[in-house]
Amino acid sequence: MKIHCACGAVIADTTDALPHKAHVVPDQEWHAVLDAIRAAVEGAAATPDGRRLNWARACTVLSNAARLAWQCRDCGRLYLDDHDNQAHEFIPGSADAPVEIFRSRPLVPLSPSAQADPQGP
Ligand SMILES: [Zn+2]
């Protein structure tokens, strides 16, 4: 997939882990998504098949809630999908706005206690 930015650049979406793409979960859905992920991963997961099923359920919950967004690295415009997966353009308010707003931060490993917390976040 490619988006033709209004500035003339092409925003490519042809692989995973792109620094100019994000999966956005609306705040009004955030807690419902967390609850649904918790429900998806709870229950019997002692078997490999059970763990795979729980993982698939959690991925589906998150994928269904997230909308896609891309940023043009030349001009900083954002393109964000609406409810119908139609991308809309948003223009930065200043020329010095960051053009890599979706680039990942250094990963912070979960502490063992956070990983074992049955109550989650
Ligand atoms: Zn652009």
Give the three-state DSSP class for 3: strand
Please, are residues 70 and 21 in contact by the beta-carbon 8 Å criterion? yes
* DSSP collapsed to 3 states, 7-62: CCCEEECCCCCCCCEEEECCHHHHHHHHHHHHHHHCCCCCCHHHHHHHHHHHHHHH
How much is the pLDDT for 121? 44
Please, are residues 34 and 98 in contact by the beta-carbon 8 Å criterion? no
Ligand 1 centroid – CA 43 distance (Å): 46
Ligand 1 centroid – CA 95 distance (Å): 12
Q: What percent of the chain has pLDDT over 70?
A: 87
For the chain, report the end-to-end CA distance as a whole number of angstroms: 34
Ligand 1 centroid – CA 9 distance (Å): 5
Average pLDDT over residues 89-107: 91
Q: Which two tokens stand for residue 112?
A: 């063992």
Q: pLDDT grade, residue 53 (50/70/90)? A: confident
Average pLDDT over residues 66-77: 97
Distance, in Å, from the CA atom of 21 to the CA atom of 6, rounded to the nearest integer, reads 17
Ligand 1 centroid – CA 24 distance (Å): 20
Report domain extents, the chain: 1-25+68-104, 27-65
Q: Which two tokens stand for residue 32?
A: 């419902």
Give this prediction's pTM: 0.80
Among residues 11, 34, 13, the alpha carbon closest in space to that of 42 is found at 34
Average pLDDT over residues 22-51: 86
Ligand 1 centroid – CA 109 distance (Å): 34
Ligand 1 centroid – CA 69 distance (Å): 14
Ligand 1 centroid – CA 11 distance (Å): 8
